[in-house]
Structure 1
Amino acid sequence: MTAGAWFALLTTLLFHKGSAQFLNANCGSVSSNQTVSPYPWLAIIELPTKKCSGTLVNRNYVITSATCVFDQKIATVRLGVFDRSKLGNSGYNYSEEVFQMQSAYVPEFYNQTTRKNDIALLKLSNPVVYKDHIRPICILLDNSIVKIYDAIFAIRWGLRKKKNMFPGPKLSSPKSFNSRMCREVSQICAGYKTNCVEPGSPLTKSVVYSHYIRLVLFGIQSYGTRNGCVYTEITSYIDWIVRVVLEVDIVW
């Protein structure tokens, strides 16, 4: 391994073992402004033939499912959307911002048939400027500080609705968790089939850390079965996420 690679590896390890618990320290905060979405990290990903959900994780990357973007060359990412029915109205000061996908990163062993490793990171064409209505969600580097399957919430746009998508994102609380539905340990099985139509939509949880409430990403919707939803579990891919986001090219 070259000296440069050793330095990159050391940087990554320090990033993991340091005092920071999150991928981005400035993450998961909830604005008190009632005109701002409580989900300022939620993204809409538009492709030539479909739409998916995504989640902003830092200034340069949105996370989604590999199912959404695999083999796609063009994608538009919309951030800052709260109520699409009000866009363009006077008095509605917060508008969406549009980015193009510069590149997409998918794990080497993603399997389109089994949906194994169904996760992707999209690098945006330009860095995001954080505002009240556009902020990243938290990704835990150490999941030992929270019980993962306690009070998790799913958020979606209704992008696959036959008529129009929801004007704003909808929140639901999966009541059923069934590990037998999952083919892989890196999956979370929860919710109901009717809510499993939006690849890339986030599974989140509120976490109290250092006396503040943070919203943390735990899963990305992969696919639905007749029994419920299957999500890709974020904590199983922390090392991969860190390497991509920090742009570290290391052979492990």
Structure 2
Amino acid sequence: MYRIRHLNRALLVCIIVNIVDAQETTVVNSTFAAKNVNEKQNTPAVKQKYRVDNDYIGIKAHNSIDFLPNRTICGLLSDEDRIFGGENAALDEFPWLARIKYLLNNGKEVYACAGSLITNNYVLTAAHCAVNLTIKEVRLGDWNTDTQPDCQGRVCNDPEVDVLITQVYIYPEYSKSDTFKGDIALLQLQKPVQFSDFIRPICLPTTEEIIKQDNSSESVFWTAGWGKTEYERKSNIKQKLALNAVPIDYCRKRQAIITDESANYVICAGGEAGKDTCVGDSGGSLAKQITANRSTNWFLIGVTSYGYKHCGSEGRPGLYARITPLMDWILHTIQL
């Protein structure tokens, strides 16, 4: 059975370079590259330090909620959504998942991190997947990285869509000294994408009812990606995996790097032997099916951020950037 694993941020640049056996350890700018933006006038700082019980207060005041797709469009379930385990995803599962292409300073291009489509012109990923790296474009609608079109049985998907990135917004309070205080970034697409059965955004937590369900101890999350498997190679077919929530107090005992200040920005999940996210999955989605107002949708709850160096280790849960306390900044940024 496949196990998906995730990336230690400090190793990201080295891993990207090793993919192509290059010697360079940095990435240079290009006319096709995104500009990393961290100025306050472009990325407003979050003024309020949200707690779980008042996250909704800041979110509901934003007119930019109207920029987000409604629940008749985002996070729709597919027929295969309830299959459990680390295995191949169906063609139309996790249609929000994007592969991120980087430009190296030797001119080569490689895919490394992942991201989640949240509107027709924004992809959400991890900050550590964007800082000091040159992002060229994202690929949407992929399933098997070795074939085109992708077919599962007699059903084939539409061709993948590649879209250039024009701007990168880094969460302003993110820093290498406290990785877990907002490890997210927004990638602005050069042009809006058309939604289909294979390219579709995931919903974001914007209502009080949804926010209250974002991180309970009984939560079951799902993640997906093309990261390393137990055979120490990347999967060419999109994989999916269910992960159980881990209480933050237990998680902090296992991952002492979580500080008092960053604890509210972190979701812990996994820790079962052989089930984890790993190299190549960084920036991808930690998603949860939530039912509200008689509708069940997929919601983006976290972003793959950090994990123990030996992926899939017993008792070592993965760490994910929690979306809810960062929604204020996300909503500010998508209306710029």
Report TM bin, short chain: 0.7 to 0.9
**For residues 181-238 of structure 1, what are the alpha-carbon distances to aligned partners after superposition, in whole Å with 9 as ceiling and x for unaligned?**
4331211122138624221121111111332211001000111136221111000111
Residues 56 and 137 in structure 1, CA contact (< 8 A), matched pair in contact too: yes
| C-alpha distance in structure 2 between counterparts of 1:89 and 1:239, whole Å | 37
| C-alpha distance in structure 1 between counterparts of 2:247 and 2:125, whole Å | 22
Which of 199, 215, 224 aligns to 2:307? It is 224
Which secondary structure state, in structure 2, belongs to the residue aligned with residue 239 of structure 1? helix
Which of 226, 229, 235 aligns to 1:165? It is 235
Which secondary structure state, in structure 1, belongs to the residue aligned with residue 246 of structure 2? coil
Residues 23 and 141 in structure 1, CA contact (< 8 A), matched pair in contact too: no
Which residue does 1:5 correspond to in 2? none
Distance 1:27 1:101, change over 3 A: same
Which of 166, 170, 183 aligns to 1:106? It is 170
The letter for the 2-side match of 1:110 is Y
Which of 113, 130, 155 aligns to 1:52? It is 113
The letter for the 1-side match of 2:326 is Y
Which of 210, 222, 225 aligns to 1:154? It is 222
CA offset at residue 244 of structure 1? 0.7
Residues 173 and 182 in structure 2, CA contact (< 8 A), matched pair in contact too: yes
Residues 65 and 118 in structure 1, CA contact (< 8 A), matched pair in contact too: yes
CA offset at residue 47 of structure 1? 1.5
Residues 188 and 233 in structure 1, CA contact (< 8 A), matched pair in contact too: yes
Which residue does 2:141 correspond to in 1? 80
**For residues 126-156 of structure 1, what are the alpha-carbon distances to aligned partners after superposition, in whole Å with 9 as ceiling and x for unaligned?**
1111111111000011244442234332313
Which residue does 1:9 correspond to in 2? none
Q: How many residues align?
A: 233
Which secondary structure state, in structure 1, belongs to the residue aligned with residue 307 of structure 2? strand
Which of 286, 303, 307 aligns to 1:203? It is 286
Which residue does 1:13 correspond to in 2? 61
Relative contact order, CA 8 A, sep 6+: which one is greater?
Answer: 2
| C-alpha distance in structure 1 between counterparts of 2:78 and 2:245, whole Å | 27
Pair 1:189 & 2:268 matched: yes
Which residue does 1:234 correspond to in 2? 323
Which secondary structure state, in structure 1, belongs to the residue aligned with residue 194 of structure 2? coil
Runs of 5+ consecutive residues of structure 2 not aligned to the other structure: 1-59, 82-89, 105-110, 310-315
Distance 1:160 1:69, change over 3 A: farther
CA offset at residue 80 of structure 1? 0.8
| C-alpha distance in structure 1 between counterparts of 2:63 and 2:220, whole Å | 27
| C-alpha distance in structure 2 between counterparts of 1:216 and 1:93, whole Å | 23
The letter for the 2-side match of 1:147 is Q
Which residue does 1:3 correspond to in 2? none
Greater mean deviation of Cα atoms: 50-59 or 91-100: 91-100
| C-alpha distance in structure 2 between counterparts of 1:224 and 1:93, whole Å | 33
Name segments (4+ residues, structure 1) moved above 3 Å.
31-36, 83-86, 88-91, 143-146, 175-179
Distance 1:103 1:164, change over 3 A: same
TM-score, normalisation: structure 1:
0.81
| C-alpha distance in structure 2 between counterparts of 1:216 and 1:31, whole Å | 14
**For residues 75-114 of structure 1, what are the alpha-carbon distances to aligned partners after superposition, in whole Å with 9 as ceiling and x for unaligned?**
3211111333542368624221111111110022211233
**For residues 7-55 of structure 1, what are the alpha-carbon distances to aligned partners after superposition, in whole Å with 9 as ceiling and x for unaligned?**
xxxxx83537x8x7x9421311124599742211111112236501100
Distance 1:163 1:127, change over 3 A: same
Distance 1:31 1:232, change over 3 A: same
Which residue does 1:39 correspond to in 2? 94
Residues 57 and 139 in structure 1, CA contact (< 8 A), matched pair in contact too: yes
| C-alpha distance in structure 2 between counterparts of 1:160 and 1:76, whole Å | 22
| C-alpha distance in structure 2 between counterparts of 1:168 and 1:58, whole Å | 21
Identity of aligned residues (%): 28
